[in-house]
Each structure stands twice: as structure tokens, then as C-alpha cells.
Chains A and B, each alone.
Chain A
Amino acid sequence: MKDTVYYNQLISKFFDTAKNNQEKIAVREIDREITFSKLYCEVLFLSKKIEHLLKNKRNQRIGVFISKSIESTVADLAILLSGNVFVNLDTKNPVARLKSICDNCCLSIVIRKSASENVEQFFSGDVLDYCIDDIEKIDPYDFSLNNSIDDFLNRNYFKNVDTDPFCIINTSGSTGIPKAVALTHKGFCDFTNAAKKSKIIDGPEIIGSLSPAYFDIYVFELCLLMDSGSTIVIIPENLSLFPLKILQMLHDMSVTYIFWVPTIMVNIANKDFLSYVNLPSLKKVWFAGEVFPTVKFRYWADKLPKTQFVNMYGPIEIHVDCLFYIVPHDFPIDRPIPIGKPFYNTDAIILNDDNLITEPNEEGELCIRGSSLALGYFNDKKKTESVFVQNPLNKYYPELIYRTGDIVKLDGSGNYCFVGRKDTLVKRLGYRIELSEIEHVALAKIENIKNACVIFNEKTNDLIMYYESAEPIDNSLLKKNFMSLFPRYMVPTKYCHCRELLKNPNGKIDRNYYKNRE
């Protein structure tokens, strides 16, 4: 009977998962760990605090200003249980950016670990301190109390439904304010089910978690914890600089599954790190977020002959990923890895400039249909309506598609292949960056810059800014300025002064000219 229980929210499944895995480790850090029954107990405790503070209001956005840890996991789950929406913040973001995110998402509460964190400099609402001093002292939740979680989820006058937001993920936005993608309970249930249906994930995994908490990959890891009782092994951020340490940790903790961005996997391949550590437990390797060069993939495939490799594709706006490709170990080294075929319950259509389905071999924009669509961009109707649009192939009833902005085409075997972008969005080190956001903020915030054009060089990973000003500006001064405005991955690495930037005939900066100079 158990399998037929219907869940409209993964958080209600979490109750059963915790009940069936009471003594199992739910989250592991390098030197501490928490079992499912203790985790459940903490989640209940914190969610009551949140309910009390919000006087039972629901669908409020709550910021989590805690870097990835047992505490941040408790916070995310407690926010869901209280019927609210978690917004994981990048604790390393400059204050100005944090403030812009908090304002845009209209946060009600920010949760932090201790009063020593100066949240007040970017947020003026209620602040909740939450920290576990000693996990040993937590009384595990007594599941024999016979409280069903549904009582908890249903007891308020305002019930949550599966189209309510689950979390908000902030990503680079072209106008200078990060875009806040509002994702739903339904979307994450749908993706988790689709992944299971595609048989690329089955039972509980031990997850080697490297993704920051403010990324969708981490949110999916959280879904696997709630859904199947998977264990999240948190790889400390400062270890991520040293692949040998990470791989040792995967080995020591018998990690079975990783979902990483290719950047780190390329670094590992470049220095042949896999020759020094055996990973017999690692059964599944998923990668997404950017192109994984085939030659580097082959290094991984040769070193881990029994591991399944899956290339995942999807923008945040469709809940984690919408296409996948199981990459054969002997994939031809001279061909790019396809992004594959759509997941169960997802339709991927390719539209040409006339909004018609493309002919075989014709390139076009990838558009997605199905339950996986995000609600849109929080607090930004205009931007939402520009990419979540009526399906042009259907004039009979309202039906939205998401226009990804990615140009793709089909190969001979029906696999989708990535060709390029329609706009200035780039992927650097796994992060999504709107080049025009950097340009926009440079003009608004840095004195004397009259015009700017930022170019990304994929080969060297450099972000190059060409800027127009009367006199050249000191490079280190520019860099300092950008570091106070952007997260590290968005700070240009090279600066070139021009008296005047080259424009094309319609008066726009000639981006292609600068691109081709690289």
C-alpha cells in the first residue's frame, strides 16, 4: 500500500521517510552528523518558531543566511513544513547584492546561525537565530506519538497547494537586479518522479554534495533526502579548492552519487587526480550547467568503467533539468556530448524565428512544455511574460511554454544538441552570468565609465571588459570596485580601455567585433 500514497508535497513524504529511516544518517558533515529522527525533531522545532513569528501566515519568503550545513538543511525543511518558501542566500555575496535580493524577494524573515552575523546591514525585518550546539543532546522525535504530518500541514486556515512556491533561486539578471526564479512543490515532485521513471536514480543514495545551497542542484539533493531517505554528505567549501581532499572524502564516506558542474570535473581530469583515489562505491555521476569537453569526459569514463554517467540539461526555470543523455563510456572523442532527450512528462519543442516547429537539422530555440515550468520571476511580471509565453502552436486555451533562449538542433538519432545562445547569457565555472548585468552595473556604479562591453572567453575562462572612458582607469581599482558589487565569478578578470567602443550600423556596441578579438 505504501507506494500508492499520494503526496502533493515532498515535505509530507519526508515524515514517512524519516519514520522509516529513524537511525539512518540524513546529513553528514566532516566531523558531525544527524540521523533522520533527530533531523525531523529539529525541523519540527524550528518550523513552530517560524509559524509563531509569522502568526501562521503562509507562502512568505524566508531567507536562509547560513552556508550549507546541517543547520541550513534544517532551516530549508522547516520553512517548507511551516508552509513557506525558502530563499537560500549566498553568504559571500557583497552587501549591495544581498540587499537587492532581499528587497526583490520581499523576505519576511532571515534565519542565521548567530547574532555575530550582521544581517541587519542588508535586511531590516525579523531575524531568527538558529544553531545546534550539540547534536548528541537532541532528543530524537518519537514517531509512535501517532501525529501524522498531514495534520500539521492542514491545520491552518490557509492550506498549501502544489502550485505554491517551494523555493526561490536567484540568478544573474540582465537589468542589474538578480532574477528570482519562483519554483513550486509540483515542479520538484515532477522532476523527482521523472528521474525515477527514467531509471537514472532508484533507491536511496549517499550524495557527495558540492553544489552551494543557493543552486538548484542542492535543492534536488534535498528532494532525494525527503523522497528516498538519501544521505547528504556536505563537502566543505574550502575543500573544493583541493580535488584530492574531495575525492578522499567521497571514498571515506562511500559516496554513491554525485551531481556536479563540469568545471571541477575538468580540473580533476587535467591533473589526473583519479589515479590517486579509488572510488568503488561511486555508481552514478551526473553533470550539468555547462558543456563538458568530451576528451575530459573520456578521462572520467576510463577511470570509472562501472559508473553510469548522465549529461543533464536544463535552466533553473524548469526545475533542475528537462533533458538527459546517458553517455556511453566509449562516446566518440571528436563529438560533443548531446543534451539528450526529454524527461518523462516533459515536452521539448524547437521553434524557428517564425514560431514554427523546425525542420529536421534546422536550428531553433528550445521551448519547454509541462508541469516543470516555474511560476516565473518573483516580483517581475514583465520579465516573466517575455519568456513564459503562450504556446504559439496552440490558439485554443491558455498554455504556457518556457523559451529557454538556447539554440539547439536534433541529431540523426533524435537527440537534442546544444548549439549556442540567443542572448548574452554565458556559463562560467558552472555559474550563469548575464554579461549585460555586468555592463549595466558598471555604468551605474563606477565613475567615469561611459560604455562597457563584457566578453567571455570560454577557452581561458576570462571575463574581459572593454570600457569607454576619457582616461584609462587603474585595473586594480576597477577590480576592487567590482568585487564590492558582484560575487567572485562575475568579476571581470581583464580590462581594456577604449576612447570609444566600436558600434555597429544601428548604434549598438559591436559585441561580435570584441568577441572575435579574443
Chain B
Amino acid sequence: MEDKIISILHDMHPETDFSKSYTNLVSDAILDSFDVVQIISELESSFSISISALDILPENFDSVESICNLVKKYIK
């Protein structure tokens, strides 16, 4: 799952090495508004989930780890 998420991020930002443990994807403005919408839609189609509005918050997108945790929450 982590590899898939890294590959989604890498497709958007080939200049950034997401395998390193970035923890401030949002606060350091590595991701912008287009990215977040796209990440959500790719996560939803790759993992067949539907992310609730209440989970679309900065803290759930700040690192590969937090995105992983978010997805896990939906895959039962």
C-alpha cells in the first residue's frame, strides 16, 4: 500500500523523493490544492474506498505514513 501511495505522489511531483520520510507535505507546501483533490480521487479508485469530507484534513495528508493510516481506516 505504501508503495502505491508513493507512486501516486511521485507521479505528481517527480522532483520529490517521497521514499524519504517527509512529514510536512502540507505545511511545507509540497502539495498544492490540485494535488490534494487528485490524491483523494486516486486513492479512492486504487483502493476502492470513499473518503469522507470529515477526513479531508491537513493532518491526514502531511506524510506518506499519515496517508497510509487514512487509507487503512477505510479498508476493513
Contacts and interface: CB of A to CB of B under 8 A. Distances in A.
A480 B12 CA distance: 10
Task: Say whether chain B's binding surface is mostly helix, strand, loop, or mixed.
Answer: loop
Given A271-B53, A271-B56, A273-B53, A476 B34 contact: no
Contacts of A275: 53
A272 B53 contact: yes
Given A237-B29, A238-B26, A241-B31, 18 more contacts: A238-B27, A241-B26, A241-B58, A242-B36, A242-B56, A242-B57, A273-B53, A275-B53, A276-B53, A276-B54, A429-B34, A476-B10, A476-B14, A477-B14, A480-B15, A483-B15, A488-B32, A489-B34
A479 interface: yes
Interface string A374-414: 00000000000000000000000000000000000000000
Interface in B32-75: 32-37, 51-54, 56-58, 61
A488 to B, nearest CB: 6
Contacts of B51: 271
A267 interface: yes
Contacts of B53: 243-244, 271-273, 275-276
A124 interface: no
Interface size class of A (residues with CB under 8 A): 20 to 34
Contacts of A114: none
B34 A242 contact: no
B29 A243 contact: no
Contacts of A445: none
B33 A241 contact: yes
12 contacts: A241-B26, A241-B36, A245-B57, A245-B58, A272-B53, A273-B53, A275-B53, A276-B53, A276-B54, A476-B11, A488-B32, A489-B34
* Most chain A CB inside 10 Å of its own CB: which residue of B31, B53, B56: B53
A244 B57 contact: yes
Interface of B: 10-11, 14-15, 26-27, 29, 31-37, 51-54, 56-58, 61
Nearest to A475: B14
Contacts of B35: 241
A334 B39 CA distance: 30
A38 to B, nearest CB: 29
A275 B52 CA distance: 12
Nearest to A488: B32
A241 B37 CA distance: 8
Contacts of B29: 237-238
Contacts of A238: 26-27, 29, 58
Contacts of A244: 53-54, 56-57
Interface in A247-278: 264, 267, 271-273, 275-276
Contacts of B26: 238, 241
Contacts of B33: 240-241, 264, 429
A489 B52 CA distance: 26
Contacts of B36: 241-242
Interface string A457-491: 00000000000000000011101100100001100
Nearest to A274: B53
Nearest to B54: A276
A72 to B, nearest CB: 17
Nearest to B61: A241
